Amino acid sequence: MTGKLYAISTGPGASDLITVRASRVLATLDVVYAPAGRKGGDSLALSIVREYLGEHTQVCCRHFPMSADSAEKEEVWDAVAAELQSDVESGKRVGFITLGDAMLFSTWVFLLKRLQNPDWLEIIPGVTSFSAIASRSATPLAMETQSLAVISCTAPEAEIRRALEQHDSLVLMKVYGRFARIKCLLQEANLLDCALMMAEATLPGEQCWRELSAINDENPLPYFSTILINKQWGRERK
């Protein structure tokens, strides 16, 4: 077996925020698999890497359903993992691209579970969306003895509430569709004044809100919206 599989983190959005290693590997691929979610997630990962692809790299989009039906999802994961493995076995250099960092809230991990970390796999880490947001907003993630919690807004409310209380800094991911509820939790925890929200950080459509209380809950947010809270820094800045 001479093929190889690369799980390639594309970083937060801007094409030049992928790693040098990712850019070099992309140029050598026979085939690249791109996950196609709803809301244009597919074209985003692919649009980030397109300029680095080799002239002859074949592009395969695969749709991963967001449905609650886990049997349907497992079937897709099984099928895509089998495709990746089969391409490697036929000697190809194969890429699977994934937004942000491959090991954080990524569909890639469900494929990794099936492939079981074989010798022919290399995972290339990437810049997370929250590092990009911290840089763009000049807000530190953590300093000295502080702690950072990275939370999914799909987590149980009690867990989010507890984390808001206990950590110095927090990243709230997957805000989309849950903003009104999260805003209430932030208000309860007296954190509205030190929170900021960014959408599409590092992309041309980047937006940053520093006054969360002023956002109308009724308006739909962009899909990639993330909240960053640094209690001490946020309070000193206001």
Work out which of 5, 12, 32, 182 binds a second copy, going by CB under 8 A.
12
CB atoms within 10 A of CB 237: 14
Determine, following the binding rule CB under 8 A, whether residue 117 of this chain makes contact with a second copy: yes
Please name every residue paired with 173 in a beta bridge, in sequence order, or none if there are none: 152
- Please identify which residue in 10, 13, 17, 85 interacts with a second copy, judged by CB under 8 A: 17
For 2, 21, 28, 29, 107, the CA distances from 92, given in Å and listed in that order, are 8, 19, 10, 8, 22
How far apart CA 174 and CA 171 sit, in angstroms, is 10
What burial class does residue 147 get, using C-beta atoms within 10 Å of its C-beta: 0-12 exposed, 13-18 middle, 19+ buried? exposed
Q: Report in angstroms how near the CB of residue 108 gets to a second copy at its nearest.
A: 9
- Point out which span in 33-41, 76-84, 106-114, 214-222 binds a second copy (CB under 8 A): 106-114
Q: Which is nearer to a second copy, 48 or 212 (CB)?
A: 48
Between 156 and 204, name the residue whose CB sits nearer to a second copy. 156
Which range in 39-47, 157-165, 177-185, 215-223 contacts a second copy by CB under 8 A? 157-165
- Exposed, middle or buried by CB within 10 Å (0-12, 13-18, 19+), for 118? exposed
CA distances from 126 to 11, 32, 38, 82, 214 (A): 5, 17, 22, 25, 33
> Taking CB under 8 A as the criterion, which residues in 171-200 touch a second copy?
none
Chain residues that interact with a second copy, rule: CB under 8 A: 7, 9, 11-12, 14-21, 23-24, 101-106, 109-110, 112, 117, 121, 123-128, 131-132, 134-136, 138-152, 154-156, 159, 162-163, 166-167
